[in-house]
Amino acid sequence: MSKPIVGIIMGSQSDLPVMRKAADFLSEMKVPFEITIVSAHRTPERMMAYASSARSRGLKVIVAGAGGAAHLPGMIASMTSLPVIGVPIKSSNSIDGWDSILSILQMPGGVPVATVALDGSKNAGILAAQIIGTMDKTLAKRLDKYKESMKESVLATASELEGLGLPKP
Ligand code: RP5
């Protein structure tokens, strides 16, 4: 397998059901990635080592997901100039998910984290692939095909619905 160019990290194994959707999308697009657990609060030294070695290890984008007091994406972004995509997760310690959304979204000036929707890890995978796709024509073509397939699927559903003969307003 080729060297990973996207790093997917999450605060806990309990985040995996959400975060694996980013991994699944990158697999579908044939983007080499690595995936692991890095906790801002439980393994702070590992978090620092991960962020500070990311570029020299060949990563181009980092996708970081966490729930509750979600400091992982922001802390990673504070230690690398690679783009960081944050995934807020509705976890067992979330109040309602806003805690995680706001922790990831409301970064101070100068340290951006591209924040996707609550549990929106598929979009994080798509965005990571799109960033890589700015410099990779083959991948850009795969992404265009993906968009086309979404359009076709919506149009097919729409014509099915129109064919049901439901009363019109
Ligand atoms: C966060 O706390 C993790 O990212 C996870 O979403 C949440 C709960 O972690 P566990 O207690 O399930 O390990 O740091």
Sign for the pseudo-dihedral over CA of 121, 124, 128, 129? positive
Around ligand 1, the residues with Cβ closer than 6 Å are 10-12, 14-15, 39, 66-68, 89, 91-93
What is the number of the ligand 1 atom nearest to the C-alpha of 40? 14
What is the number of the ligand 1 atom nearest to the C-alpha of 100? 6
Spatial separation of the C-alpha atoms in residues 81 and 43, rounded to whole Å: 21
Distance 19 CA to ligand 1 centre (A): 12
The residue whose CA has the least distance to atom 3 of ligand 1 is 11
Distance 91 CA to ligand 1 centre (A): 6
- pLDDT, tens only, 64-90: 999 999 999 999 999 999 999 999 999
What is the number of the ligand 1 atom nearest to the C-alpha of 10? 4
Distance 115 CA to ligand 1 centre (A): 18
- pLDDT, tens only, 115-127: 999 999 999 999 9
Distance 57 CA to ligand 1 centre (A): 26
| CA-atom Rg of the chain in angstroms | 18
What residue ranges define each of the domains in the chain, with the CATH number in brackets?
6-162 (3.40.50.1970)
Spatial separation of the C-alpha atoms in residues 47 and 24, rounded to whole Å: 24
CA angle 107, 120, 84 (to 5 degrees): 40
The residue whose CA has the least distance to atom 7 of ligand 1 is 67
- Above pLDDT 70, what percent of the chain? 99
**According to the model, what pLDDT value does residue 57 have?**
98
pTM: 0.95
**According to the model, what pLDDT value does residue 1 have?**
62
Q: Count of CB atoms within 10 A of residue 115's CB?
A: 24
- Flag whether pLDDT at 27 surpasses 80: yes
**According to the model, what pLDDT value does residue 107 have?**
98
2: its two tokens: 């080729």
